[in-house]
Amino acid sequence: MRVVALLFALTMFSSGAAAQDMTGKCGSHPGLLRNEAGSLVWFSSSQLHSMALKQVMPEPVHIRGLIFEGVVKIKIMVNTGGDVVCMWDVKGHPLMLVNAVKAAHDWKFKPQIENRNATEFVGILELPVTANGDGY
């Protein structure tokens, strides 16, 4: 099962084609929070952490002999209800991507209000990832 998950991560998130396809669906959504000039408002990872109602950190990867600490960066889109509905342009160690994407999907955010209405928004979420070397 872990091999299938790792292959999925390697094919989906390390290929430029997958990232390009996701950007078209997420980054150009008309309901996203924009500034006065019409440009997208991007929230930084620290801003996203402070806006989060629920934070889920990635599970450590268990692969014998692999000891690793790093960060996975994920561009996310959050809907008006505060749920992560889209992820793209995932960057980090290929073996760590699956757990980071699973964790990011479970985050919950405070709604962002614009003109007294909740609005969708985008940001770059950075999640710490580890491998502790005690797997099979």
Q: What is the pLDDT of residues 25-63, one digit of tens each?
A: 675 677 788 888 888 889 999 999 999 999 999 999 888
pTM over 0.95: no
123 strand-pairing partners: 43, 76
Contacts of 13 (CB under 8 A, 6+ apart): 19, 90, 94, 97, 101
**DSSP code of 39?**
P
**Unique residue bearing structure tokens 């930084």:** 44
Give the pair of three-digit tokens for residue 106.
Answer: 């479970």
The span from the first CA to the last CA of the chain, in angstroms, equals 13
CA distance 9 to 2: 11
Amino acid letter, residue 38: G
Is residue 122 within 8 A of residue 43, CB to CB? The reply is: yes
Q: Express each pLDDT in 15-26 by its tens digit.
A: 433 333 444 567
With 50 as the cut, is the pLDDT of residue 69 above it? yes
